[in-house]
Amino acid sequence: MATCDPVTPPPLRSAAHRTLFTALSRPDFRPADGDEARRHLAALDDKYERAMDVVENSRDLVIGCFELFSSRTALDTNETMRTLTFLTVLIGVMAVAAGVLGMNFETAFFASEAGFWFTIALMIGSTLVALFVARRLRWM
């Protein structure tokens, strides 16, 4: 049972009227009343304390559930962002390769049509290898 201290305010977690209900159950509150009134006020204080404990526990459960939901949502978002980042890097590397090979300069590599197909095969092969490695490392 909590004690009534007129100097110290109640903790922030408790209701503002908790001090009042605690003061009602003190023996010096109503010294002229009989034993029945004191028992009644003590029972009132006990019921109030139990009700406040249930409310505080419920609030803690709701806050905990929300934090759990927020954490799970953040984890799902992180996994999605990791996948999107990997795919962006993969597409970016292929775009750089296509950009370099698309420059206007002559090499023996471009003299035949086989150079184009070799480049496409190299891009597809590197993509498949990167996807395989990403799956093994659980990036995707």
- Which pLDDT tens digit goes with each residue over 91-116? 998 898 888 877 777 777 777 778 77
Residue 5 lies in a domain: no
**pLDDT tens figures, 84-96:** 999 999 999 889 8
Q: 105 or 74: which carries more pLDDT confidence?
A: 74
Q: Note down the domain range covering 42.
A: 18-136
Residue 53 lies in a domain: yes
Residue 78 lies in a domain: yes
Question: Which of helix, strand or coil describes residue 129?
Answer: helix
Residue 3 lies in a domain: no
Residue 70 lies in a domain: yes
- Please tell me the total count of domains within the chain: 1
Residue 117 lies in a domain: yes
Residue 9 lies in a domain: no
pLDDT confidence of residue 44: 78
Beta-carbon contacts of 1 under 8 Å, excluding residues fewer than 6 positions away, are 22, 25, 45, 46, 49
CA gap 8, 122 in Å, rounded: 76
- From 55, 58, 2, 53, select the one nearest 25 (Cα to Cα): 2
Residue 6 lies in a domain: no
